[in-house]
Structure 1
Amino acid sequence: MAKVAVSILFFYMVCWAGISTHVFQPSSIIATGPKITSLLLGNLTEVSLNLLYVFASNVTGSIGPPSCEPEETQWIVTKELVGTNALRVHLRLNKSLHFCGENETDCCSKSLCVLESLRVSACVNNVVKTSLLIQAKIHAHLRLPYHGPDNQTVIPNQVYDPLGSCPCDLTTGMCDIRCCCDKDCSSELLKLFESHCFPGPFGGQLSSLPDYHCSAHREDAPEWFRFLCVISPPENNPYLGHFYHGDTIIPKPRPSFQKPILSPPVFNTYKQGNPIFTLEDQLFTIPQMAIGHCLNNAPVAFLENFSFQCVTVLDSCPNSFPLQTLHSDLSIHVNDGKGGDVTVVVMDEVVKDLSHFLSSTAFGPDRDHVCESVTLALDYTFHWKGNIITNITLRRSIGKLIFKGSVEITTRYSAVFVTRENMEEANSGNPGYQVGKPVIAGIENTQHNFSVQRTSINLWKPVLNGLCHIAEKRPVMFAENSTSGCQLFVSLQNLTQCDLLRDTVGSLQETLVTATYVAKTGNPNSEIESDWVQIQFENSSNALGDGDGSCSGIPSHTHIQIWSFIAGMTEGNGQRMIQDIQVRSTLSTWTLDCGGGDVCADLTEAQLFHVTSSVTFIDIPIFTGPPKNRFRINFTEYDCDKNDVCWPQLAFPLTKYYTGEPHSHALAMGLTLVFLLMAASVLSTPWRQIRQAWDISL
């Protein structure tokens, strides 16, 4: 079955890759070790493999075309059939990788032992179908000479010598304290601890034979002892198996304390969650938050989005990564997952307003610090298709930082994986919404019959001091209730212009929901009206009664209500859809607190007022049938889930409550049992007497 599964797997791999004849996977390999493995996919009939060296032309710099002519190399090629359309090709270096000694030839004379380019050609009828390019760059193995003794340490076999002759003899050639059976201990040393020897079997003191053992040779044994004694070989004792079986230990060379040369990880394509590698087989890293701390070099996982903020206290201008970055250091060559590379394209954005990045400033007697080109944010966008990275763009935000004393700076790092040019086209489910994915909204385009431009509905995301003029917005996530807000400074002079204040707060709240439609499913079509539901806007009524230092009808709270339901099941998973959405503004009255006085005297005195937003998801229950009447709700005598005694269970196994076997089998066996009981009762003694009496009467 395993071979059949492998064959089917590689058949689908061939079909998926669109292979018509032959192809190597991967098509090029950079080898750092003496063993190389690749897969040849396609029609394997009459396929032969040829290995030869390749060299770059001094004129054009390119290598020659592949050839089917064999060439003698220092590599051994073997092949293994792993399916009807797959062949595993193995290459092994036929050369020793240790440094040359005296009068040695098959060895390495320098550290870089092998540096050559090879080509494996798959030929059919002396025609090249495909080829595999190999760049071998192999270093010699460092190995220190071992000058220790070559004698072997033989451990007794515990099958015949239980626990060994002296288990406490742990050190070879030295006397172990309190081990009186250690032959390395002289008589003078034994006198120091002979009264404190290890007791029992661990100290080599096996218990004597019991009196009932035949080999005990008791002098006072009676004449019948030989008939009743126990015969048992000395190997059968309770101490067998306490140690491993004895074996011969051959001394090995001492380990080298050089840094080992690790072979790079081998992979063909990326999978979700796998780390991304650079072209030099190093982990591709971005600063991230881990276990409450910011790590400057954290690996990036394929198709795993993230967004983190790191707070750093600066007493002077930064001069190292990640607050100081060079364009050349960020333009990294990344492995695209198919043997090629993708270069990170860096785009700089100069930030003039640093209020979003500065948390607090502590002024001191120190001089002013002027820091040029400080890296404030690194936002990566990975474009992918299938299991391959097609493009990587980096938006680096830099700014000029001026502070005195010390300052807290908040830097931001993010990575987003997208499959389209426009990030807003990312779906939130297929077809139903996934919990935690953004709710898809849209703005109607009046130029066409029906078309919407994707956007999102948002909530407030306070940052730094929580003021509304620097607050950010975050999208509403499906099935996640949330409440957030920001603060707005309002003075007495503002409260004398209530209409302007209402318009200002209303404009702030309107920026949260600019859409007119919300998608019913997680993958809507922008041109199909049935995939969208219109947003209902509603304002709460409140009589306007403006007074001194007071304004009513302020739309200070925006509440979003979304009704969702499970429309069906796909592979056992419920598909959640949005049925309706309502956005309601709650009006309130803002009044300054004058500290006990009736009238505030200072017109410039300002206080903080809250501007809030919230979202609530309401689940619509699935309709399971007509509603139950009062009798069915209250009468639970025959309900096995609500009573200790279940009368229907008395008819085991004829009723549905018996789940040990299928109901049809249980019913057949039950009826057979009833038939046998009736036959037994008919053929029993009372019925036979009745039949005899009946026959006599006739």
Structure 2
Amino acid sequence: MANMVYILFLPTILRQVTYMFLFFFMAPAQNFVVFQPSFLTATGPTISSLLIGDTSNISLYLRTVSPSNTTAGNIGSPSCVAEETQWVLTSEQVEKTAVRVQLRLTKSLRLCGKNETNPDCCPKPLCVLETLQVSACVNGTPQSSLLIQAKINALLVPTNAGYDNKTIIPNQVYQPLGSCPCDLTFRACDVRCCCDKDCSPEELKLFVSSCLHGPFGGQVSPAPDYQCTVQASENTPDWFPFLCVNSPLENNPYLGLFYEGDTIASKPGPSFQRPVLSAPVPVNAYVQGSPILTINDQYFTIPQMVFGQCVNNAPVAFLKNFISYCRHLLHSCPTASPLQTETTDLGINLRSGQGGGVRVDVIDELAIDLSPFISHTDAVASLGGGLVCENVTLALDYKFSWKANDITNVTLTRTVGTITLDRNVVLTTSYSAVFLNGETMNEPNSGNPGYQVGKPVIAGKLLDTGLIKRTSINLWKPVSDGLCYTAEKKQILFGENSTSGCLLPVSQQNLTQCKFLRETVGSFQAALVTGTYVSKSGNPDPLTMTGWLNISFLTLNSSPVMEVTTDSCYGIPSHQHIHVWSLIKGIVQGEPQREIHALQVSYSLSTWAVECGGGDVSPCVDPMKTQLFPITSSVTFSDIPTNIGQLKTRYQINFTEYDCNRNDVCWPELVFPITKYYTGEPYSQSLAKGLILVFFFITASILGTPWRQIRQAWSSAAL
């Protein structure tokens, strides 16, 4: 009783947490279930709650209740009879005594247009207003209920929303630019941009007194004083009409600051012929990043990962390669997309980008090995009584062939398989899109032209066609158990030193075959560096060899090693070290451009022997007992200084009286421009001009007043 009184006086939040802990401790002992929370107010299309307790034989039912039962105090009796609603009820086992219950609205939240009769849209801004009840039943007897008050408004989305909201800049060869540089947002009013055509009169009143002035606000800058049109009646010199400039005000020098212009290459020919311009790019042509559309002007979508969640209807962007993995918990055979797909639904027509259409060609492949897709291998065992799910879609791989702004061909490889459900199965599906220009994939670069820190180092290998195919230089990326057989690889990133490794199980019997053990470890290490060339810059050309360097491999000692004992092996290449030398080749727009000067791959040899210390003698007694030995890899980046300069002598280091960089007074500068410290022009010209100045100085001294007075004084003294 004293404990209960103490709990009642706790703060509200702490009291609720205490009740939750008491409930979790009491739930296994008592055979009941409860929703947490038991009352929800929903404002979106997805609702989630937890059902806690003994959930082994629980069945869930959803129905719509009358408005009179919408209060938490008057829920009404739960019902174990399901009703047809506009919601989809799903459940997922998250713990032994907890089930996540989710409701998803099947109705679109798009606001209906004028005279539109589509029942899927919302006729009013308040789209959904209803009360739902989820009942948890065991053998037709209700155990607990969840009451949900749904109040959802329609989504106000522009009818022609693009992939992003950036302003579409027309082709500058055919369209004038700079009319409103502050218009930065497409189909939206920019604050203080009074020339923005998207601003309504009501919005303009809010900032009409604070409009952006000058060319940035769309106003032509004041005409300069040298313009012929600016002839003020006052203070105008007589020579102004002869030296003024006639130029239209549209030739604003600020226009180049807003947009990156295009140029037209001139063709040789008579100057009086008018150049023929190429036709403008159609407005519906694809550019990098724009969404791909179907022939019906709908977004072409593929399941993708967005903010950590798998979205079934995510748009595909032009020239954006991706690969996504989605996890599904299967309680029964799937019946809907994307796990069950039809060829007629996948083979749709897309807009090519040049006014035509291109059809998706579907190729089916049957997956025999389901281990890459199913996490629990025992779930696919063919046992008696298992539920067989046929033609389950495991992967969708799209290949887009493109040229310029046009999609020329689309091929879809659909991987299907048969899954046997003996219990719940976690299925991992993959979705990818690759854009190919001819036979080469649009691969991202690591800089332009110099490498950027944090971007992958680009390697390559020479094909028989003379083309260099891109590959990667990797380090170990251990996952799960950390063994080398299951470890993944990660690319080395420019400028980032790193060390990683994996573990290899070795028994005493393996140590009796040292040659085979060295070859096994060497093959593991060799798989990290698959290329023979490395790119100097971050945007290499696969057709020329001048931009590539040979990777230097320090070969191991090939002489046979005499083994002294049978329980240890010498010369195991357990560590691989990659050393990259880089230097700065120049500066572009204030950014140093780094290039790779050399790349070397070396190995460190070690001795492996089974250890029986620590009280564990089983590895030495049992020849099949294994121990874990590390296989490591590392990368180091070193900068080569560019301006080393000549080495100074001891005299130059100690005698600094005439060093202009270390003294306030520089004596050699007093005899400019004769000395070599003057670099404004060639030394021969400066010497000639200096001697002419000396000659003029001597002549002026002889013929000048001081020399005349000296001659007069000399003549007086002589007399």
TM range (shorter): 0.3 to 0.5
